[in-house]
């Protein structure tokens, strides 16, 4: 049986002086050459299913043939976890700054070109070691040498990012409002998506927009491109550049299901088996039809009016053009107008998620749908 270590990491302080802490679990693999993994959950307050998945992973990993190191962090954002309003958990945005908690990570692309010039002829191992050290020092400098200080969210994000930069593979576990399971996957890592038991994949460009997955794969992608521009060819996803990061959307927020979480954990183990992090061939991807599309074709449908919404479209199933996604009830029109209004689209789509409440204002995001999709 594999043993794990547990530490409690302080990520900030409350006004009373109380420490904000998160638990950090770690397994040590037996093969130094195997890929290492970082998994975190619950960066957004209501997105709690990832904690159940980490629980199931901790249970299963103790009995795996573990090759690479694995670090797991549930309750990644203690402020968001505890941000309640009545019976609802909020915690998607920093209540002080209004910034999305998952848009505060750091990447400064200006460090790439000087690094490549300095290590243009270095060995692959030296490039990997030195660049990882650079990324870690960038985060350390943000944490320790910021003249003007850090926001609470930055302080939390940078300490999580410090752990993530020490890994080759990063999985950031999230959920939607009312949602199907889906995967945000870098375009270059498309081949890896079929090793998760997730039917829908959104392929994201190799650009940084502040999220954890981007903060951990974009630096390596930018480095690979810079070397290629100077005539040294590397392939992203192989060798020294075998770096992959995903946002794994596990369904709907504000609920956990330990049985479903075990299936999600098995899905992750299937991917880790493919990557050689574990050597347990019983963990294989399920046979299923997997659809993918590009982020530019992942569209939001906004409500044309206020009202009470009946969400009609099923998740994960192609919806034909003209078929209604919702019907909106307007009781104020009853008796002297149309009380029911149907909303549809002029193209076939796959509905992925919808708004959590039936009560919407005009302009509320009703659904997010995948257009121009294809089979993986």
Q: In terms of CATH, what superfamily is 4-288?
A: Zn peptidases (3.40.630.10)
Length of the chain: 376
Domain boundaries, the chain: 4-288, 297-375
Is-same-fold flag (4-288; 297-375)? Answer: no
Q: How far apart are CA 304 and CA 358, in angstroms?
A: 14
Q: What is the DSSP letter of 325?
A: E
| Strand 169-176 versus strand 37-41 pairing type | parallel
Q: How far apart are CA 263 and CA 150, in angstroms?
A: 38
Output the pLDDT for position 124: 92
Q: How far apart are CA 350 and CA 316, in angstroms?
A: 6
Output the pLDDT for position 284: 97
Q: Is the pLDDT of residue 238 over 90?
A: no
Q: Is the pLDDT of residue 183 over 90?
A: yes
The pLDDT tens digits for 251-295 are 999 999 999 999 999 999 999 999 999 999 999 999 999 999 999
How much of the chain, in percent, has pLDDT values that exceed 90?
Answer: 94
* Greatest Cα-to-Cα distance within the chain, rounded to the nearest angstrom: 78
The pLDDT tens digits for 42-54 are 999 999 999 999 9
Mean per-residue pLDDT for 164-174? Answer: 98
Q: Is the pLDDT of residue 146 over 80?
A: no
In Å, what is the CA distance from 62 to each residue of 168, 297, 299?
21, 40, 41
The pLDDT tens digits for 293-342 are 999 999 999 999 999 999 999 998 899 999 999 999 999 999 999 999 99
Q: Is 182 exposed, middle or buried (0-12, 13-18, 19+ CB in 10 A)?
A: buried
Q: How far apart are CA 181 and CA 186, in angstroms?
A: 17
C-beta atoms surrounding 298 within 10 Å: 22
Q: What is the DSSP letter of 190?
A: G
Question: The domain 297-375 is classified under which CATH number: 2.40.50.100, 3.20.20.70, 3.40.630.10, 2.40.50.700?
Answer: 2.40.50.100
Mean per-residue pLDDT for 180-197? Answer: 97
Output the pLDDT for position 145: 77
Output the pLDDT for position 147: 78
Q: How far apart are CA 74 and CA 173, in angstroms?
A: 9
Comparing CA positions, the residue from 338, 252, 250, 332 lying closest to residue 56 is 250
How much of the chain, in percent, has pLDDT values that exceed 70?
Answer: 100
pTM equals: 0.96
Query: What integer best gives the mean pLDDT of the chain?
Result: 96
């Amino acid at each position: 049986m594999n043993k794990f270590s547990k530490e409690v990491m302080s990520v900030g302080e409350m006004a009373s002086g109380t420490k904000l802490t998160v638990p950090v679990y770690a397994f040590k693999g037996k093969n130094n050459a195997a890929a290492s993994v970082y998994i975190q959950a619950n960066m957004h307050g209501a997105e709690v299913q990832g904690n159940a998945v980490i629980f199931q992973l901790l249970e299963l990993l103790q009995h795996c043939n573990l090759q690479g190191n694995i670090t797991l962090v549930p309750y990644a954002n203690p402020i968001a976890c505890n941000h309640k309003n009545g019976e609802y958990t909020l915690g998607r945005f920093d209540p002080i700054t209004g910034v999305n908690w998952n848009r505060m990570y750091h990447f400064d692309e200006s460090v790439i070109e000087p690094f490549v010039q300095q290590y243009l002829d270095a060995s692959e191992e030296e490039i990997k070691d030195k660049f990882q050290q650079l990324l870690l020092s960038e985060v350390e400098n943000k944490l320790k040498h910021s003249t003007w200080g850090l926001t609470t969210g930055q302080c939390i994000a940078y300490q999580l990012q410090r752990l993530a930069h020490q890994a080759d593979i990063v999985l950031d576990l999230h959920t939607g409002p009312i949602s199907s399971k889906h995967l945000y996957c870098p375009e270059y890592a498309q081949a890896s998506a079929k090793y998760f038991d997730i039917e829908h994949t959104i392929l994201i460009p190799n650009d940084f927009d502040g999220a954890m997955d981007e903060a951990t794969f974009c630096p390596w992608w930018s480095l690979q491109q810079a070397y290629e521009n100077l005539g040294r060819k590397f392939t992203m996803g192989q060798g020294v550049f075998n770096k992959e990061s995903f946002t794994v959307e596990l369904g709907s927020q504000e609920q956990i299901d330990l049985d479903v979480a075990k299936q999600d954990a098995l899905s992750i183990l299937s991917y880790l088996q493919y990557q050689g992090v574990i050597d347990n061939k019983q963990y294989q991807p399920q046979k299923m039809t997997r659809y993918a599309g590009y982020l530019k074709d992942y569209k939001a449908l906004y409500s044309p009016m206020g009202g009470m919404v009946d969400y009609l479209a099923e998740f994960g199933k192609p919806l034909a053009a003209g078929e209604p996604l919702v019907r909106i009830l307007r009781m104020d029109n009853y008796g002297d107008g149309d009380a029911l209004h149907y909303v549809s689209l002029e193209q076939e789509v796959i509905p992925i998620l919808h708004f959590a409440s039936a009560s919407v204002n005009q302009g509320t995001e009703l659904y997010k749908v995948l257009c121009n999709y294809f089979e993986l």
